[in-house]
Amino acid sequence: MDLLNKVWVKVHCLGDRIFCLSDTNCVSFSASKAGMKGNKDECLSVHLPCPNLATAWSLPFWLMPTNRLVEIDKEDESRTTEEKLVKREILDNAKAIGNDSVESKVLSSVGLPRDVLLSITARLSLPVDHMNFRLVCKTFALLVPHSGQWTRAQYPSLMFSNREKSKCSFLDPMYNVNSCFDMPELLGAKICSSKDGWLLMKKGDRSMFFFNPFTKATIRLPDLPKNLGFNGISFTAPPTSSSCIVFGFFNFVSCVRIYFLHLGDNGWNYSECPNNEIALSNNNPVFYNGAFYCFGT
């Protein structure tokens, strides 16, 4: 739909794009960047990943991990207090042992050279693998940054969660791997939208917050002015960015009410727009080239 000219436009070529669809959201990504090859017949195909997956999870949600890479030597400002305490403990132990370098003492404790550890992490394509790798020991947690900053995956994972339980599951559609984690932060919360590894969550009637399931980081938002059941909601950039704006809308008979929040504001703002031409559907808006696009029926 060309919203500028308000006409339907026929798409002649989708390129190498892959579309992952669920009942509540969709994600598109490049097949070539994900390492996929084939489709020599240039035809559209539909694939249901793991159709026989036996699970009690409800409302699967596509989650695209962040693709930002950082150097292993660079200090990660987002490290948790626990990690800083681990680092301090290792440094104190190294100083107590002698005057040798801290790095050599840390690496000798696991019996692996530094380049071997970096080679291992470079070949871990799944975010959950990074999470498990860092849980091996305190040394690995210190040397290997969060998966949110060292992710090479160019395709999304399918996330299953249940508001009544704290456990969630990540399904990798490429490798057919299903991993379960206990995340108390998700208990009683609803996933509303996702981008770059961050989930926009709603808990209760008015509470909303961002949550990163790979780093366990939480960023809370001002309470909603009232209990709002958005027809669609999305955000422009990760909440760690100063340009992050949350955008949600309600579809009424003759108008659309828009709620928006710039991270750092003390409260939500809203505006009403007359709408007698297009009935907006219950889909999250898409942010593209500086504007939000809402889907109609």
Task: Calculate what percentage of the chain has a pLDDT beyond 70.
Answer: 56
Higher pLDDT residue, 183 or 119?
183
Q: Where on the phi/psi map is residue 73: left (φ > 0), alpha (ψ -120 to 50), or beta?
A: alpha
- pLDDT score for 278: 73
- Mean pLDDT of the region 9-35: 67
Maximum C-alpha span of the chain: 76
140-149: average pLDDT: 61
Nearest-angstrom CA–CA distance, 237 and 235:
6
The average pLDDT across 248-262 equals 87
- Left, alpha or beta for 226 (phi > 0: left; psi -120 to 50: alpha)? beta
- Can you tell me whether residue 231 is helix, strand or coil? coil
Helix axes 114-122, 127-134, angle to 10 degrees: 150
The CB-side HSE value for 96 (13 A sphere, CA atoms) comes to 6
pLDDT at 39: 60
Residue 32 and residue 125: Cα distance in Å, rounded? Answer: 15
pLDDT at position 4 is 61
pLDDT score, position 84 = 53
Residue 24: partners with Cβ closer than 8 Å, 6 or more residues away: 59, 61, 191
- pLDDT value at 105 more than 90: no
Q: Mean per-residue pLDDT for 2-12?
A: 64
Three-class SS state of 93: helix
Tell me the C-alpha distance between 254 and 274, whole Å. Answer: 6
Confidence check: pLDDT of 62 > 70: no
* Higher-confidence position of 297 and 101: 297
What is the rounded end-to-end Cα distance, in angstroms, of the chain? Answer: 10
Cα angle 115, 117, 118; round to 5: 65
- The whole-chain average pLDDT of the chain stands at 71
Most confident of the ranges 50-54, 183-187, 212-216, 263-267: 263-267
Residue 77 has pLDDT above 80, yes or no: no
Q: Which pLDDT score is estimated for 208?
A: 94
pLDDT at 67 exceeding the cut of 50: no
Residue 223 clears pLDDT 90, i.e. is over it:
yes
Q: What is the rounded CA–CA span in Å between residue 239 and residue 155? A: 21
- Would the pTM of this model clear 0.85, i.e. be above it? no
- The predicted structure's pLDDT at residue 34: 62
Whose CA is closest to 248, among 266, 262, 260, 264? 260
Tracing tokens 């992710």 back to the chain, one arrives at 151
Q: Give the model's pLDDT for residue 252.
A: 79
Cβ(154)–Cβ(169) below 8 Å: no
Which stretches of the chain are assigned E, i.e. beta strand?
17-21, 26-30, 58-63, 157-161, 167-172, 177-182, 189-195, 198-203, 207-211, 218-220, 232-235, 245-251, 255-262, 269-274, 286-288, 291-293
What's the whole-number mean pLDDT along residues 46-54? 55
pLDDT grade for 219, boundaries at 50, 70 and 90: very high
Residue of higher predicted confidence among 12 and 212: 212
Q: Answer whether residue 101 shows pLDDT above 90.
A: no
Is a pLDDT exceeding 60 seen at residue 138? Answer: yes
If one compares 45 and 208, the residue with the highest pLDDT of the two is 208
